[in-house]
Structure formats: structure tokens, C-alpha cells
A and B are shown apart, each in its own frame.
Chain A
């Protein structure tokens, strides 16, 4: 790896010092052995990883049918493969003549990551847009037919309405609880703060499916002549109400609201952690100055603290917005869109797999893409502003 120790006489030449990159090779000539080793290495690594993976998949007998063994080997092959690929890629570029090598190195470092982004995100996006103009099994183009069908369907309009509700309610409520908890926890003893934050943070480790299971128990329905087994109905009955089948109750979109509770419950911890560190970063003397001027605690909070943590509030808000736009698991698992709870991501899934309408499903994703575009533009602008301030 270390070329320099092998040819110390080059240390005197020193042209690379003024060069753009650090550690650029100081010879200008190509090193054919390195180029060759690098090229051959990359090919061999690629070939080996591909074949090993296929062997894991199709010849489990070679590995004594042991999942544990295959798992360990797969980990070694995957991670080792990635390491050696980079190693040989680096060898190859280092072997090229100095100028080319320096110019190419950044792109070599970027290439594998960007290749995957291209394959997993860009190519599919273009292909999906393409499919959205084709028929159910993507054999012929049908123009705007899919969009007409989708946009005209009652189900889609209901999904849009629900998504808007999710968008309006969940990020705001999450940020609200995040701020409240961050502020209150800040006033507790160190120990109390630590414990309470961990408790609120804990749901972040829980999957949407796990959380849905947890809350399904809370929303459990039992007829009036039996004991309540769901916490919500138990509380509701204690207040004198009739047992409710909560997730089927679409009045005022109550069932959607109850599913939003799950997402809020999951995300508040994340919001709180970021907001809490922002609040702790507010300089004490700005608060002190306001206090000496006689501002009340509430005034201090809204006029002094909030303006200083606005950036974090926006970051959290946007993160939750992006999450909410794609909300799927909770709705899919709990109601699958029944009783007016449909959302775009679940409708897409239903169209693609339940109805085998791939054209319409693609059209729905394109609508989803359009819906995230403003967020995307905002993100890019926000990022640019921030970079200028760096």
C-alpha cells in the first residue's frame, strides 16, 4: 500500500505539494503493474462476490444447509468484497499517470456509491414514469389513461385527503411534543432528564409493524357484555361511553387520527433529542438578559428561545413530513385502507399487487413524486443557504 516507503528517493522531487489533492503520487509516469493489479483485482472481486452469492442462494447444500454458516460467510464476502473492491480500485487509479490519477481519484471514491444510487433510485424513477404511461402489464402505451383513471377514482381522492390530514397533523404534533418534552426535561435533575428521555426515545427502536401490534391491543374492541381488554375502551367505558370499534370508526376520520397517534408516539423521541440539544445550545446570557428585562418564562421561550432553535424545528418538521408522505406500514397492517383510511403509499401497493394494475400504480407513485418535489426543492435551497454560512 505505501508506495512512499518503497521509493524514498522520490521525496526530494516534491511537485505534488502544490497539487490539488493530498498524497498524490509524485511521479508523473504510469505504473503498469498497479494498473494491471487493480484491474484484475476488481474483476476477480466482482466475479467472486457474484458467484459466492449465487452459491449461497442456489447451492445451500455446499454449506451444510446451515443458515448460520451462510450468514457468516455472506457477511465476510459482502464486507470483504466491498473493501477489496475499493482497494483494487485505488490501486488502479494510483497506477495511472500522476495528473490523470489525481484528477480521477475523487471520482473513483464516489463511483461505487453513485452507481448504486443510479441503479436503485434514478433508473427506477425514470422507468416508473415510463410505466405510468403504459397499460396494466406494461406491454403498450396508453397515454394519459392511467392518470385519468387514478385521478378520477374516489379511492384516490380519499387517499389524498387522508395524506393531507396526516401531513397537517403529524409533523406539527410531533414537533409540539418534542419541544414540550425537551423543555420540561431540561428542568429536571440530570438523572431524571436521562431516564425520561430514554423512555420517550425508546419507541424509535420499534418497527411500524411492532408499534401497530402494540396499539392494536390498546384499541382492542370487546362487546359491552364482556370485559374490556383494550386500554382505550376501558378508559372510555370508565367515562361512561359505549365500547367502540375504534379502527372502524371513520366519523371525523377518527380511525385515521388514531393511527396518526402511533406515528407521533414513534417519532417524538427523535424530535425531542434534536430539539433538546438545540435548546441547550441557546446561550444562557440571552435568556438572562430577557429575564432581567422582566420577560415572563413564556415570553422568553417564544421570543428568545424559539427564534434561536428555528433551524432545528424546521429540520425536524421536514424530516417528519418526508416520513409521513411515505407512510405505509401502519395503515397497511391495521386497516389496509378500509373505512376511509386509505393513503397514497398503501393505495399504490394495493393497485400493484392486489389489482395487478401496474400502470395505475406507477401513476400513483408519480403523483407521490410530484408531492415530494416542493420538499425536495426546499431541502436543496436550505442546504445551499447553510453551505454558504459554513
Chain B
């Protein structure tokens, strides 16, 4: 127990009375905490570094082919070359509109269906007693780690023309994303449901509700935060996925990410569309992300992933 000799007892007492987050201060913030200049400067620098690449993409996407090839995007203010043609081009000649639609068709059911499956399982783990409960749940924890690459060859065969014949179709991809998302979904939902008060369930039982009713009328509404959080995570994952979409969807059904990967590999004519295409592919996930960020953060930090 060393005593700080630079502080007189009164100083210490005073400091602890006035919310002493940091002693060396230049100014006090509105909430009474001292302002830390080092933090402000470092964070501004980091934020600029983090945003700059994306800004570069946006600016580049708004410049014509020659400008893109000849001058850096940061010179666009004085070198010019601004145009919307890339966006027009990526819709007209690269048909990115269809791939956007395909992405929505893939992503929405592939987000909703796993949640429904997982919520039932999570309910069973949280509120029912049965034999093998521990073993079954530990199996979930274990398969969460299994790389999805194991699935490609067997499932390409199973879904292919010699099997179910659904390779290339949306349904195959829904099933795949539902299956691959399932372990994390069950794990996440169960961790949250385990924190719900058991008394609520008990009173539902006394009122004579069946499990099915309790699930829909009580547990689902109470689990909205974690359902929203997982939904966002799964939506982003499905929307941004390249591997499954590339392997299991036909060209007509290709998602926007697969389309973008095609643009990336293209040489010569049309390379100027690439930044515009990339930006378009990012718009919807970003909107989803920003409008629902609150849920996401809350779900992520409360029980979704436990510390």
C-alpha cells in the first residue's frame, strides 16, 4: 500500500469527490469527466485511417475511366473527371440489378428460417429437462468450429444432378446457410434465453399454457434483442458470402458478391465499373447495419458472446 506523495490528503479527497477519471486535464467535458487530448487525437487519426480506404472507393466509383487510371482519387477535387456513368454502366452492361435481387432472395429466408429452427432448440435447452441435454449442447459448441469446407464436396454431390437436383437453385443455398448458421444460432439464442427469469415460465405453466404457446407468446417476444442481433449477423454473413453462393448457385441466380468477384477478375473493358459495383454491393448491408446497430451491439454484448 503505497501512498501517492504528490497528492495531499485534501487533494485526494477532492479528486474522489469530483469524478476523477483522469488527473492531468485540459478542460472538463459536459458530463464532468476531464477531456483527454491524447485520446481525441489518436482516435481521430484512427478514424481517418479506418475510413480513408472506403472513401477512396466511393470517390473512385464516381470518376471516369481515364481519371481512375491516371490520377489518384484524392486529386479528384482539382483534377475532376466526375461522372455517374459507372453506376449506369454497372446496371446496364453488368446487370447488377438482377444480382442484387438474387442477393435479397438468398439472404432473407436464409436469415429467418435458421432463427426459427434455432429458437425452438434454444427453448428446449433453456426451459426443458431431458436426457442427453448436456451432450447435445456440447455438440453444438463443438460443431461451431468445424470449417464449412468439409461440406462442399459431399453436398455438391448430394445436391447435384445425381442427387437431389437442387444445385444452382435458391433452395439449396437456403438449406446450406440454415445448416451452417444453426450451431451459432442455437448457441447464441440459448445463452440469452438462459438469462430469462424462470418464474415467467412457471406462471405460464400454472395458467396451463403448452410449450408451443409459451414459446410464441412469451419467449419469442422476450428474446427480441438477441433475435435481432443474430438476424443482423446472419444477414451480413449470408449477404457477404462468396463461397457458398459461387459453388451452389447457377449464373442466373448469382448474388451480387459473386458478380463483384467476376468484375474483379475482369480485364480491359468494364474495369471502371468495379468500384461502383463494389459500392452497390455494400449499400444494403450498411443500411441494415446502421439502422439496427443498436440491437446488434446490445445483443452481441449481452449474453450473445459471453466474456
CB contacts under 8 Å to B, within A56-101, are 56-57, 67-68, 70-71, 74-75, 78-79, 82-83, 86-87, 90, 94
Per the bound structure, the CA–CA distance linking A317 and B153 in Å amounts to 30
Complex contact A365–B150 (CB within 8 A): yes
The residue in A11, A229, A265, A277 that gathers the most chain B C-beta atoms within 10 A of its C-beta is A229
Chain B window 156-185, contacts with chain A (Cβ cutoff 8 Å), 1 for yes, 0 for no: 000000000010111100111011101100
Complex contact B53–A215 (CB within 8 A): yes
Residue A312 CB within 8 A of the other chain: yes
Per the bound structure, the CA–CA distance linking A127 and B170 in Å amounts to 24
With A184-B43, A274-B305, A326-B147 as contacts: A214 and B57 at CB distance below 8 Å = yes
Complex contact B124–A379 (CB within 8 A): no
Complex contact A231–B52 (CB within 8 A): yes
The residue in A103, A120, A368 that gathers the most chain B C-beta atoms within 10 A of its C-beta is A120
Q: How large is the interface on B (under 10, 10 to 19, 20 to 34, 35 or more residues)?
A: 35 or more
Complex contact B307–A315 (CB within 8 A): yes
The residue in A131, A187, A192 that gathers the most chain B C-beta atoms within 10 A of its C-beta is A187
With A67-B101, A208-B242 as contacts: A75 and B109 at CB distance below 8 Å = yes
Interface stretch of the complex, out of A151-159, A247-255, A289-297:
A289-297
Residue B223 CB within 8 A of the other chain: no
From the candidates B144, B194, B209, B274, name the one contacting A390 in the complex (CB within 8 A).
B194
Residue A139 CB within 8 A of the other chain: no
A-side interface residues, number (CB < 8 Å): 133
Chain A interface, DSSP helix/strand/loop, else mixed: helix
Residue B22 CB within 8 A of the other chain: yes
From the candidates A70, A180, A294, name the one contacting B4 in the complex (CB within 8 A).
A294
Which chain A residue shows the least CB distance to B47?
A199
The 8 closest A-B pairs by CB, nearest first: A120-B179, A22-B205, A207-B240, A312-B307, A294-B4, A127-B154, A106-B130, A205-B289
Could you write out 21 A-B pairs with CB less than 8 Å apart?
A22-B204, A23-B210, A54-B166, A78-B109, A106-B128, A110-B136, A117-B140, A117-B183, A121-B151, A131-B153, A180-B42, A187-B21, A205-B236, A209-B242, A228-B72, A229-B71, A274-B307, A311-B307, A315-B307, A332-B242, A386-B306
Interface residues of B (CB under 8 A from A): 1-4, 12, 16, 20-22, 29-31, 33, 35-36, 39-40, 42-44, 46-47, 50-54, 56-57, 60, 68-75, 98, 101-102, 104-105, 108-109, 112-113, 116-118, 120-121, 123-125, 127-130, 133, 136, 138, 140-155, 166, 168-171, 174-176, 178-180, 182-183, 186, 194, 201-202, 204-206, 208-214, 236, 239-243, 257, 260-261, 264, 274-275, 278, 281-282, 285-286, 288-290, 293, 297, 300-301, 305-307
Known A22-B209, A227-B70, A231-B72; further 14 A-B contacts with Cβ < 8 A: A21-B129, A23-B213, A75-B105, A78-B109, A78-B112, A121-B180, A128-B153, A188-B39, A217-B53, A311-B306, A358-B153, A365-B150, A379-B144, A380-B142
